[in-house]
Amino acid sequence: MGYHTAYTLQAGCDETTFIQIKERIKQLARYDGIFNGPCKWYEHEYHMRTVSREFPTVLLQLEGVGEEHPDIWVKYFLSGNMHAEKGKVVFPPFDAQKLK
């Protein structure tokens, strides 16, 4: 069975380079559907670090939304290095003026 996550990739580069990056990721993962919906991609950090080393000047941002709430995160890759942040759900304080 496995755990499914929906992945979204952004990159600070031109469209041609972005297409090359996505194709390289698909080669490493040996799967075409990574960015087409939830999937199992357990090696994403290793693959993203590899691609980041191959395109060292491009900031890559990979966002993930897992099947269990609140599994939301973003990982940044640059020159083979990574920084990860988990999402936080924050509710504003009660405001009586908003009652209808």
Tokens 């509710």 identify what position? 91
The secondary structure element, H or E, covering residue 83 is strand 81-86
3-state secondary structure of 31: coil
At 1 the pLDDT is 74
Q: Which parts of the chain sit beneath pLDDT 50? A: none
Q: How many domains does the chain have?
A: 1
Give the mean pLDDT of the chain: 96
At 69 the pLDDT is 86
Structure-token pair, residue 50: 């590899």
- Residue 86 belongs to domain spanning: 5-98
Whole-structure pTM value? 0.89
